[in-house]
Amino acid sequence: MGKVELDIGIDPELLAPAKRLGISAAGMSETQLRLHLQKVDPAGAEERARRWAEENAEAIKEHNAHVEKYGLISDHFRKW
């Protein structure tokens, strides 16, 4: 049985540092590339995480307010 070609999408923000560091993303999923970059470029990973949190600050704030007001959807499963 032969191999099947598969196109996957990878965040371009991950490809730029990979290219800069000489890392080939061929055969990697986005998750694998993200984890590899965290190992070889921790400062870059921290910067991407900081930027993500900054870009999503409003949604995080709204989510936290919703949880504060209504609780978690899984609260009824908790026994403690």
3-class state of residue 56 by DSSP = coil
The pLDDT tens digits for 24-73 are: 988 889 999 999 999 999 988 898 889 999 999 999 999 999 999 999 98
Is 47 domain-assigned?
yes
- Into how many domains does the chain fold? 1
Model-wide pTM > 0.75: no
> Could you tell me if 71 and 64 are in contact, meaning their C-beta atoms sit under 8 angstroms apart?
no
Residue of higher predicted confidence among 38 and 78: 38
Is 1 domain-assigned?
no
Q: What is the DSSP letter of 9?
A: -
> Residue 61 is part of which domain span?
12-72
Is 64 domain-assigned?
yes
